[in-house]
């Protein structure tokens, strides 16, 4: 994996408060890498450090081999940034806003017009290109911000809470666009507190808590390592002790009774046929069964609960 973003021992303190606490990151070319965790966990400060918008207290940052604090213009030429609140001029149209950015980049004439048209088409805003941005919804403004990244032909896109405040449809549309850009080779760093919502688009994630990274890896690896499985089968059955019936079953990593009288079965694959067979074989009657993938929310809660318990025990 060719690393395009690297941090080592990255620390940022504001007075006595440590916002980022010895963070090590490695992001490969073409990855969608998620900085995930609750608000205030250090994600946005880490992004500011990656962009050279604040100075590290300790440690180092490299973006495409460049120091963003000492080589800011070289980094800005390669990186597109979509903040939580995208700053556009409300009294200007979508096209005029992008034209202004193009001029700041040194683009003009036919090249600028072609890039702007292609970017607006890409994010499905071509039909409102001549409407004032002040009338845009939050979802449309976020897509316009993504159009700016596309127009810039950025090698790396850093997106801070891009789906915050969006309805489910707008969120899905934006995530699909992000996935398409990654498929074309763009490296994307995506920050979000909506863990389950963005897990489908991330190749790997880092889970932040109180300025530190607790876990890093693919979603499948983290759910397997922390929860013991990648799927949850929810079962309702009569006349059977499901924990006993499934004892020793390959791929079953945990069976717990739920408060509603059913069972939660953690598995390493879709084992519904085997679970149904075991229920019937034990003389039980299967009423309902459903399956879902484990979520990063569950991973996050379980991991940091265990961390807290270990800290108390120590």
For the chain, the C-alpha Rg in angstroms (whole number) is 23
Residue 307's SS3 state is helix
What's the pLDDT tens digit per position in 95-110? Answer: 999 999 999 999 888 9
Q: Over the chain, what is the mean pLDDT?
A: 93
User: Which residues neighbour 144 within 8 Å (Cβ) at sequence distance 6 or greater?
Assistant: 86, 88, 94, 97, 98, 123, 125, 133, 136
Q: Residue 199: its pLDDT value, please?
A: 86
Positions in the chain short of pLDDT 70? 1-2
CA distance 10 to 265: 40
CA distance 258 to 256: 6
Q: Residue 54: its pLDDT value, please?
A: 95
Pairing of strands 79-82, 156-160: parallel
Per CATH, the number for 231-293 is: 3.30.70.100
| Helix, strand, coil percentages for the chain (3-state, nearest 5) | 40, 30, 30
Indicate the class that CATH gives domain 3-217: alpha beta
User: Which residues neighbour 148 within 8 Å (Cβ) at sequence distance 6 or greater?
Assistant: 80, 82, 97, 98, 101, 119
Q: Residue 250: its pLDDT value, please?
A: 94
CA distance 125 to 164: 20
Q: Residue 2: its pLDDT value, please?
A: 55
Record the tokens describing residue 21, joined without a space. 């606490």
Pairing of strands 252-257, 231-238: unpaired
Domain range annotation of the chain: 3-217, 231-293
* Domain 231-293 in the same topology as domain 3-217: no
């Amino acid at each position: 994996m060719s690393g395009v973003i690297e941090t080592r021992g990255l620390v940022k303190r504001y007075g006595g408060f440590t916002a980022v606490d010895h963070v090590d990151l490695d992001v490969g070319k073409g990855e969608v890498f998620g900085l995930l965790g609750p608000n205030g966990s250090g994600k946005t400060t880490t992004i500011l450090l990656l962009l050279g918008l604040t100075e590290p207290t300790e440690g180092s940052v490299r973006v495409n081999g460049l120091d963003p604090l000492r080589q800011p213009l070289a980094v800005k030429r390669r990186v597109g940034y979509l903040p939580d609140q995208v700053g556009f001029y409300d009294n200007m149209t979508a096209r005029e806003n992008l034209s202004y950015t193009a001029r700041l980049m040194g683009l003009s004439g036919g090249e600028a017009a072609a890039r702007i048209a292609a970017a607006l088409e890409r994010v499905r805003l071509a039909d409102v290109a001549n409407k004032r941005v002040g009338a845009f919804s939050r979802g449309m403004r976020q897509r316009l911000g993504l159009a700016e990244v596309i127009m810039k032909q950025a090698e790396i896109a850093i997106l801070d809470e891009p789906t915050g405040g969006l309805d489910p449809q707008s969120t899905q549309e934006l995530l699909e666009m992000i996935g398409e850009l990654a498929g074309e080779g763009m490296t994307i760093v995506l920050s979000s507190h909506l863990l389950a919502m963005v897990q489908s688009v991330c190749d790997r994630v880092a889970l932040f808590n109180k300025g530190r990274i607790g876990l890093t890896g693919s979603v499948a690896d983290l759910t397997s390592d922390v929860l013991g499985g990648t799927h949850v089968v929810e079962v309702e059955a009569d006349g059977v002790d499901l924990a006993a019936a499934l004892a020793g079953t390959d791929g079953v990593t945990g069976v717990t009774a739920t408060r509603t009288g059913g069972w939660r079965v953690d598995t390493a694959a879709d084992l519904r046929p085997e679970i149904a067979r075991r229920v019937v074989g034990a003389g039980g009657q299967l009423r309902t069964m459903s399956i879902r993938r484990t979520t990063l929310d569950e991973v996050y809660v379980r991991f940091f609960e265990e961390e807290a318990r270990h800290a108390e025990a120590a």
